[in-house]
Amino acid sequence: MARDTFTKAECLYDRYVRKTKVEPDQVSTHYCPGCGHGNVHKFVAETIDEMGLQDRTIFISPVGCSVFGYYYFHLSNVQAAHGRAPAVATALKRAHPNSIVISYQGDGDLAGIGGNEMLHAANRGEPVTMIFINNAIYGMTGGQMAPTTLLGMKTATTPAGRTARNEGGPIRVVELLSKLDGPVYLERVALTDAKQIYRARAAVRKAIQNQVENRGFSLVEILAPCPTGWKMDPVDARHWIEETMMQVFPLGVTCDRTKEIAPSEAKPVPFVHTDLRALLDIEDESEGFAPNRTHSEGVERGVRLKVAGFGGQGILLLGQGLAECGMGDGYEVSWLPSYGPEMRGGTAHCHVRISERPIGSPLVAESDVLIAMNRPSLERFLPDLVPGGTVLYDSSLIPDGVARSDVRAVAIPATQIANELGSPRTANMVMAGAFARATELFTVDHLKASLPRFVKAKATLAVNETAIDRGAAHMEKLLETVMT
């Protein structure tokens, strides 16, 4: 390409204003003399300028010497946790398909701590650009062995030289990834002489162009000097790449399916609300639900609930049913069943949250309401109940009541009522009915209407409805007694 001027790219800042004002008007990078990071920054920046991508590009800097990418690139910047840039890139690209996402990583970051992330992003064929600086060492932390360190190479953590037996051999990333179906373009280049430098620049360009054309996952591995980590003069370091590093890491393209894939426009993966409703088996308003319930003014409604009993009492189903009903009524809900060895015979329990606001965690550390269906679970979970909270307990199985005076204890003879109905397993629904009436988070009618969503045996719907009614009626009677 014939060019007349070679000047600093527009999308690199003029001055690097740093948070910790090392120098008020810093004009040079923080990289060591002769470090390859700067060259690659220039290639990336120039391509962005030439393709007019500044407003669309999100640059992800890693943990490593290039952690300060955001001080240099006048782009949208995200600094990812160590090794996690491919995951961050995935999220950014999926959330903003029209943006150009450039993930920039060193070898410790990409192939060491983040090896798994890199592998899976490549395998999924995320349509992003990954720039991979292979300098065969951890630069930032003082020259420890990287996954790409050559055999025999002395580093801070391999003082006698890396051995295959002790540390394994160097990982060849572009060869490794080329065995996957996901990637579209993989190439290894090197910062050595003018010819290779131009190749490197062209490869970076292609990896970005591929994203502009939405062709798929592209990664360029760049053999780059780390004169400091290698304890070499910058010029010698470039010779060392040529003479030694390139013997282990041969240059070239290991995968190029660019031409097989037609350019297209990146589109968001649609998130269709109706699909979600179908998945959750929520049909529509005709079922009698009002999902857009108006939220209460002032006091926020909701509950942090624990449901506990013994295996076989339908404890998890009870929690799930209450959450389902809450969801149908337009609440945010979560249901966290506790699976584990205790499932068999011991106590079973679950955490349920029903809230007018998004739920941060499904865990219920402190409960507002406890439903206890046998004594061991009452003893175990009563301490978590907040003062002033409510415990609904199965008084058929816990005749001697609740040993706390700062909570509202409500005795529901659930098992006895269920037995009267000829269906002992409906004790859980007796409790559900009592819960609905006690909390008034949703109506008893709504609870009954949501039964088909969590009770699969249709033949038992009628008796479960009756159980809910009986539980609610019992609660009603208790409330009347309190009032009078």
Partner 1 sequence: MSEPTRGPKGRVEIKSEECKGCGTCVELCPQDVLLLGNDLNRMGYRAVTYKGDGCTGCGICFYACPEPGALSVYKIKDKALA
Ligand X SMILES: Cc1ncc(C[n+]2csc(CCOP(=O)(O)OP(=O)(O)O)c2C)c(N)n1
Which residues would be at the binding site for partner 1 (CB under 8 A)?
3-9, 12, 14, 27-29, 31-39, 41-43, 45, 72, 193-194, 197-198, 201, 227, 233-235, 238
Residue 305 and residue 351 in contact, taking contact as beta carbons nearer than 8 Å: yes
Per partner kind, with CB cut-offs from 5 to 8 A, the member of ligand SF4, ligand X, partner 1, none near residue 107 is: ligand X
**What is the crossing angle of helices 444-454 and 315-328, to 10°?**
120
Question: Nearer Cβ to partner 1, position 46 or 107?
Answer: 46
CB of 87: closest distance to ligand X in angstroms? 14
Residue 107 and residue 135 in contact, taking contact as beta carbons nearer than 8 Å: yes
Per partner kind, with CB cut-offs from 5 to 8 A, the member of ligand X, ligand SF4, partner 1, none near residue 269 is: none
Q: Is 63 in the site for ligand X (CB under 6 A)?
A: yes
The dihedrals phi and psi of 101, each to the nearest 5 degrees, come to -105, 120
Among 11, 40, 65, 122, binds ligand X (CB under 6 A): 65
Per partner kind, with CB cut-offs from 5 to 8 A, the member of partner 1, ligand X, ligand SF4, none near residue 228 is: ligand SF4
DSSP, res 408: E
Q: Give one DSSP letter per residue of 165-224, joined into a string.
A: HHH-PPP-HHHHHTTSSS-SEEEEEESSSHHHHHHHHHHHHHHHHHHHTT---EEEEEE-
Q: Is 478 in the site for ligand SF4 (CB under 6 A)?
A: no
Q: Which of residues 71-100 bind ligand X (CB under 6 A)?
A: 82
DSSP, res 345: S
Among 12, 16, 37, 155, binds ligand SF4 (CB under 6 A): 37
Q: Is 302 in the site for ligand X (CB under 6 A)?
A: no
Alpha helices in 7-84 (DSSP H): 36-51, 69-72
Binding mask 140-179 for ligand SF4 (x = CB under 6 A): x---------------------------------------
Q: Is 192 in the site for ligand SF4 (CB under 6 A)?
A: no
Q: Which residues contact 165 (CB under 8 A, 6 or more apart)?
A: none
Question: Nearer Cβ to partner 1, position 38 or 229?
Answer: 38
CB of 55: closest distance to partner 1 in angstroms? 20
Query: Which of 280, 304, 297 lies closest to 450, judged by CA?
Result: 280
Question: Nearer Cβ to partner 1, position 6 or 271?
Answer: 6
Size (the chain), residues: 484
In the block, tokens 């060019």 appear at: 3
Question: Nearer Cβ to ligand X, position 36 or 433?
Answer: 36
Among 46, 109, 368, 394, binds ligand X (CB under 6 A): 109
Q: Is 64 in the site for ligand X (CB under 6 A)?
A: yes
Among 26, 29, 141, 244, binds ligand X (CB under 6 A): 141
d(CA 414, CA 434): 9
Site size with ligand X, rule: CB under 6 A: 18
**Encoded tokens for 303:** 């509950």
CB of 227: closest distance to ligand X in angstroms? 12
DSSP, res 341: G
**Encoded tokens for 278:** 């179908």
CB of 67: closest distance to ligand SF4 in angstroms? 10
Amino acid at 18: R
Q: Is 439 in the site for ligand SF4 (CB under 6 A)?
A: no
Among 53, 58, 65, 189, binds ligand SF4 (CB under 6 A): 65
Q: Is 392 in the site for ligand X (CB under 6 A)?
A: no
Query: Which of 376, 372, 463 lies closest to 419, judged by CA?
Result: 463
Per partner kind, with CB cut-offs from 5 to 8 A, the member of ligand X, ligand SF4, partner 1, none near residue 109 is: ligand X
Stretch that binds ligand X, among 3-11, 61-69, 85-93, 309-317 (CB under 6 A): 61-69
d(CA 182, CA 372): 51
3-state secondary structure of 372: strand
**Encoded tokens for 56:** 């669309």
Q: Is 112 in the site for ligand SF4 (CB under 6 A)?
A: no
Q: Is 139 in the site for ligand X (CB under 6 A)?
A: yes
DSSP, res 241: I
Radius of gyration over every alpha carbon of the chain, rounded to an integer in angstroms:
32
- Within 10 angstroms of residue 147's Cβ, the number of other Cβ atoms is 21
CB of 93: closest distance to partner 1 in angstroms? 26
N-term to C-term CA, the chain: 93
CB of 154: closest distance to ligand SF4 in angstroms? 16
Among 211, 228, 374, 396, binds ligand SF4 (CB under 6 A): 228
Query: Which of 439, 370, 364 lies closest to 398, judged by CA?
Result: 370
CB of 301: closest distance to ligand X in angstroms? 41
Q: Is 107 in the site for ligand X (CB under 6 A)?
A: yes
Among 32, 91, 197, 253, binds ligand SF4 (CB under 6 A): 32
In the block, tokens 């590093």 appear at: 245
Q: Which residues contact 16 (CB under 8 A, 6 or more apart)?
A: 26, 27, 28, 29, 71, 72
Instruction: Please give the residue ranges that form the binding site for ligand SF4 (CB under 6 A).
Output: 31-32, 35, 37, 65, 135, 139-140, 226-229
Instruction: Please give the residue ranges that form the binding site for ligand X (CB under 6 A).
Output: 63-66, 82, 106-109, 133, 135, 137-141, 146, 226
